[in-house]
A and B are shown apart, each in its own frame.
Chain A
Amino acid sequence: MREQSPQLVERLRAGEPAAFREMVECYQRDIYALAYDLCGNHHDAEDLSQEVFIKAFRGIGNFRADAKLGSWLYRIAMNAHIDSKRRKPVQLVSIDAYASDPEEPASDRMAELAAAEARPDQSAGAARFQVDVENALGVLSAQERTVFVLRHYHDMKIGEISESLSIAEGTVKSLLFRSMRKLRDRLSHYRDEVGDPA
């Protein structure tokens, strides 16, 4: 994750618009990537990433000058995601359902699937794999998914996740264990493809 220049926080606290833009341009890719991992589709990912920056912009007064801006933005993203999941039920995408009704507006994930299928370097099987993986992630609870993506895709240590989410390390381990078990069960057919670990 990128880190801010030392003066950026001060300029943000002073309410300098150029500093806010600088922050957004510096972190937009990281925050979008995290948001995509948390939400699993482009539309919600953009929405969440924007929400993160708006919350940061409004709450910059609460930011400790000695803290890392990137970690703070991550924390906002995680909490915003968990909050939004409390309000909105999980939705799974079914390839069969999509295929049976082509008039149905395609979800973002299906659009991504179509785009992936259109790419010559990616087979339909690979696209299906992406959908299956996203659906497997969709089975996880908001907390499980958050902990899993932070550890697996964003390389945060268990202790860091615990601190960021203000939950005990034991809880993080437990959530991670449950996530792995659910993913294992959902993706058993792909597990055989990868073979035994070295």
Chain B
Amino acid sequence: MTTCGRYRSWLVEALYGELDPARRAVFEAHLSECGECAAMLNEFQRTARVMSRRQRPDPGPEFWDGYWNRLEERVAREDSIVVDASRFARRRSLGSWGYRVAAVVALLAAGAWIGRTMWAPSPDAPMIASTQVDSTPGQVREPTDDAVDSQDVAQTTREQAPAAIDAPPTDPRPRESAPPEESGTTGGPAVLASTDAGRYLERSQLLLLAVLNGDPADSSAFDTQRQRAGELMRVASSVREASDDRRVQDLVAQLEMILREIAHLEQSSDVEAVELIRSRVDREGVLLRINMEQMRSESARGAID
């Protein structure tokens, strides 16, 4: 029995015919002497035959016909979750940035107030001192300058604050002058002013998902989507011109045509027209192409980082 341990490790190889001839001869010699190992091999062989009778059911032609579409939908769904998560993360990051800026402003204001109340010259101080101080501009200023100081700090801080969450990186307009943005999946005018291909694709992807999965009865959402499709369609040529990547240019051109169809839909309840758009998006693998572009650009960014 003490030698059986070695042969047991050969059992599975023997079972599946993987023992080389030399070891096989040794193993068979052992089996002829050891009833226990021989019995175990016999049991394993019969168990293997039982397992070979197992049948794997075929899910049928309908399953295979729809396999690609279901996979594509899952990719789009997972990526939209990633997009939402990254937007939430950006928002959180901006939020914490905002708190830091606010804290700095508060600290500066408190410092200024302490400086003025604790170390300001008292009214009883000799006149000569006041004169000397006044004659040194910048050291002590008139109380009326306090408000100006605070405004300066606040203004400077505002200017240093990061751009709005959805504002394009290249948008030079100050936040205050930018038109108000809309939340949701369709994006806002500030984005549409950008020719950044990545953001354009992201916006188009979200719009397509909103249109294809939207509630046909929700006419107000549909009107907004149609309007956004029109806006995206109008800037498509600028995005194409701004990009030097042929693949992106082709994809934007492809999107432009689909966006045009959406923009010209009469009403959301035109199920047939929406279905045509949906089948076109599926057939041309538009969402998948957008995903691939996004991943490609993320990989490129990762390589640069």
Contacts and interface: CB of A to CB of B under 8 A. Distances in A.
A133 B57 contact: no
Interface string A32-64: 110011000010001000100110011001000
B188 to A, nearest CB: 29
B258 interface: no
Contacts of A20: 288, 292
A180 B71 contact: no
A170 B13 CA distance: 11
A53 B43 contact: no
A176 B44 CA distance: 11
A174 B9 CA distance: 7
Interface string B52-89: 11111101000110011011001100100000000000
B50 A24 contact: no
Interface string A1-45: 000000000000001011011001100110011001100001000
Chain B interface category by residue count: 35 or more
Nearest to B72: A21
Given A54-B74, A61-B299, A177-B11, A152 B51 contact: yes
A99 interface: no
B46 interface: yes
Main secondary structure of the interface of A (DSSP, over half): helix
A18 B45 CA distance: 45
B119 interface: no
Interface in A52-84: 53-54, 57-58, 61
B247 A15 contact: yes
Contacts of A86: none
Interface in B251-305: 285, 288-289, 292-293, 295-296, 299
B243 interface: no
A57 B75 contact: yes
B8 interface: yes
A191 B75 contact: no
A24 B71 contact: yes
A74 to B, nearest CB: 16
Contacts of A176: 12
A42 B59 CA distance: 8
Interface string A178-190: 0010011001001
B75 A184 contact: no
Interface of B: 8-9, 11-13, 15-16, 18, 42-57, 59, 63-64, 67-68, 70-71, 74-75, 78, 247, 285, 288-289, 292-293, 295-296, 299
| 5 interchain residue pairs of minimum CB distance | A197-B45, A17-B285, A176-B12, A184-B47, A191-B46
